[in-house]
Chain A
Amino acid sequence: MLLFNQLQTYLFLALVLFVIGLYGVLARRSLIAILISVELILNAASINFMAFNRFLAPNPVVGQVITLFIMAVAAAEAAIALSIIVAVYRKLKSINIEQATELRG
C-alpha cells in the first residue's frame, strides 16, 4: 500500500495542521497572527473533506463543492477580519489583543 493512497495519511496530516493552527490561536497575541492560524485550521478541514471525498464518498463532486464553499467563506472572513483589524489599529494604535480591552468593565 502506497503512502499517498491511504486515508490515514491525509487525516493525520490534517490533524497536525489543525493542532499547529490551534496552538497559534492560543499562543499568539497579534490579531493578524491569529487570523493566519485560523486559515491553517480551515485548511485542515478542507484536507479532511477532500480525503473523505477521495476515499469514501459515493459521489466525488460533493467534497470538492464543499471545499470550494469553505474557500469562499474563508475569503469573506479574511476580508471582514482584516478590515476590523485596521479599524481597531486606528482606534487603539495597537493590534495586540492584550491591549484591546476597551470592553472590560
Chain B
Amino acid sequence: MIALSALITPQIAATASFVLIIALTIFGALIAVGARNIFHNVLGLAVSLFGVAGLFVFLNSPFVALMEILIYVGAICIAICFAIMLSEPLYLPRPPRSKGKIMGAALGAGAIFVFLGLLLKKTTWTPAVHRSTDWSITTIGHYLLSNYALIFELVSLLLLVAMLGAIVTARGGRGKP
C-alpha cells in the first residue's frame, strides 16, 4: 500500500484524471454527433458537458464548472429531452443518409480542422505582463455587481424575453385555452 502511494505522485494522478476527462469529452461529443438515435445524442451531449465541466475545474474555476453542470446538463439537456418527446416519434423509419453529403460535411470540417490546427501550431502566445492572482468566487460576485452589472442585467432581460418568446412560439396553432 505504501509502495503504491509512493509510486502515484500527485502529478501522475492529475495527469491521469485529465486524460480521462479529455477522453470523456471527445467520446461524448462523438456520440452526440454520430449516433442515429436522437436520444443517444442527448445522452452523449450530457457526457461531453460533464467532461467540459471537469476541464473548467482544471482551469481553476470550480464556480463556472458548477454552472456548466447546472445550466447545460440540468436545464438544456432536459429541455431537449422534452422537445424530443413533443416532436417526431422515434419508431418512424428515417430516410437513408446520402453518402455524398456526409462526405462533403466531413471534408469541410476536416479542412477547417487542418487549417486551424496549423494556425494553432504556428502561433506563440504571450501572457499579460501584470496578472492578478485573485481567483476567488467572492471577486467574481463583486465584479458581476459592479463592473459587469450591465452584463448581469442584460442576461436577466434576455432570459425573460426568451421565455416569453418560447411560450408564444410553442403555443401557436393551438386553440384558445
Q: A26-B105, A27-B102 are in contact. Are A61 and B140 (CB under 8 A)?
A: yes
At the interface, yes or no: A73 with Cβ under 8 Å from chain B? yes
A68 and B61 CA atoms in complex are apart in Å by 11
Taking CB atoms, residues of chain B closer than 8 Å to A59 are 132
A68 to B64, Cβ gap below 8 A? yes
Partner of A89, one of B88, B101, B139: B88
Main SS at interface, chain A: helix
Q: Count how many chain B residues have C-beta atoms less than 8 Å from C-beta atoms of the other chain.
A: 86
B142 → chain A closest CB, angstroms: 9
A3 → chain B closest CB, angstroms: 5
A60 to B64, Cβ gap below 8 A? no
Q: A12-B120, A21-B29, A60-B135 are in contact. Are A80 and B162 (CB under 8 A)?
A: yes
Q: Count how many chain A residues have C-beta atoms less than 8 Å from C-beta atoms of the other chain.
A: 72
Main SS at interface, chain B: helix
A43 to B49, Cβ gap below 8 A? yes
A55 and B22 CA atoms in complex are apart in Å by 19
A39 to B76, Cβ gap below 8 A? yes
Q: Which residue of A lies closest to B133 (CB)?
A: A60
Q: Mark B155-177, 1 if CB is under 8 A from A, else 0.
A: 10011011101110110110000
B78 → chain A closest CB, angstroms: 10
Q: Mark A1-24, 1 if CB is under 8 A from B, else 0.
A: 011100110111101111111111
At the interface, yes or no: A57 with Cβ under 8 Å from chain B? yes
Most buried by B among A10, A23, A72: A23
B113 to A19, Cβ gap below 8 A? yes
B132 to A40, Cβ gap below 8 A? no
A78 to B106, Cβ gap below 8 A? no
B29 to A17, Cβ gap below 8 A? yes
Taking CB atoms, residues of chain B closer than 8 Å to A86 are 83, 86-87, 170
B contact residues vs A (CB 8 Å cutoff): 11, 14-15, 18-19, 22, 25-26, 29-30, 32-33, 38, 41-42, 45, 48-49, 52, 55-56, 58-61, 63-64, 67-68, 71-72, 75-76, 79-80, 82-84, 86-88, 94-95, 101-102, 104-106, 108-110, 112-113, 116-117, 120, 125-135, 139-140, 143-144, 148, 151, 155, 158-159, 161-163, 165-167, 169-170, 172-173
Given contacts A75-B159, A82-B80, 14 further A-B contacts (CB under 8 A): A8-B120, A19-B110, A20-B26, A26-B109, A32-B84, A33-B33, A36-B45, A55-B125, A56-B126, A60-B135, A69-B155, A75-B76, A76-B161, A86-B87
